[in-house]
Amino acid sequence: MAEILDGAFIRDQILADLKPRVEALAAAKRPPGLAVVLVGNNPASEIYVRNKVKACADLGIFSDKLTPPDSISTDELLAIIKGLNDRPEIDGILVQMPLPAQIDSRQVLEAVSPDKDADGFHPMNVGRLVANRSAPRACTPAGIMEMLRRYNISVKGRRAVVVGRSDIVGKPMALMLMHADATVTVCHSKTANLAQECSRADILVAAMGRPAWITSEFIGCGAVVIDVGMNRLTDRKEVARVFHDRPEKLAEFDRKGAILVGDVNPVDVAARAGAYTPVPGGVGPLTIAMLMANTVSLAEQHLGFR
């Protein structure tokens, strides 16, 4: 039977390791500080930000949530970022995506000081990742690497396939796996013989945002499958197809009106993989944990603890 990789279990380990570091900073000088900028009233973004602020409170990290209106201009938002860059009690800055259409998102993200880049998205920090030098790392792939390490899943010398080439997950994931001595292939929508490429993987990371798209022919027997996707299904026929008419899933859909599924077919992965991350409860909990880890590391850097 495939092993389920429990993201909440690993998240709790990471946060427990951070707690004494936060306490040491607070006792010696001040607690770490994280600023979260939430533009407008996107319901999903509001939930994410609420969870991030709660994680700060639970750890003893100071947080400041800024909520400018969705009518804000790029220049006005840049002025807010500059103010946060100048505040000494703020160690990390997170700009919640997506931003409204009128905002130049790239310009905003690049305005965050690299040494306050809690998300690890600044080009300077991406460059440091390429060079395998110390810097904030993109939270989701960094969390995946922590999960692999804490579950004692060997990466060195293994064949890893990453499906998806986004700046947020796919590219940094490939680099982190490469730095851990995996042999890495990056696949995407234009890859020829995609199922064949994926089926050779010892470690398969699915991060393309297509619900249940990775099916049994993509999964090598006994592979470790990491599902980064988080897709909401609202069509009952689609739920029936994805979950192979399983009555408990159809009942859950009928009760809730929607159901979450990753980029990997949940029935096929349980049958083929040696270990896999479920959706929900797999990769998701790790992202906020690594945001906290980045913030604490930045605070230690700013306060001379490292």
What residues act catalytically?
Answer: 52, 96, 119
Listed in sequence order, the residues at least 6 apart from 227 whose beta carbon sits closer than 8 Å to its beta carbon are 206, 214, 262, 263, 264, 269, 276, 277, 278, 279, 282, 283
**DSSP letters spanning 174-222:** HHHHHHTT-EEEEE-TT-TTHHHHHHT-SEEEE-S--TT-B-GGGS-TT
DSSP secondary structure letter of residue 264: B
Q: Which residues lie below 8 Å from residue 202, measured CB to CB, with a gap of 6+?
A: 158, 159, 160, 220, 223, 224
- Cβ neighbours of residue 52 closer than 8 Å, sequence gap 6 or more: 34, 36, 63, 94, 288, 291
Structure tokens belonging to residue 67: 């909520």
Classify residue 112 by its DSSP letter.
S
Burial (CB < 10 A; 0-12, 13-18, 19+), residue 160, is buried
For residue 83, what is the enclosing H or E element?
A: helix 74-85
Amino acid at 199: S
Cα angle, residue 204 at apex, residues 280 and 1 outer, rounded to 5°: 65
Provide the 10 A C-beta neighbour count for residue 57: 11
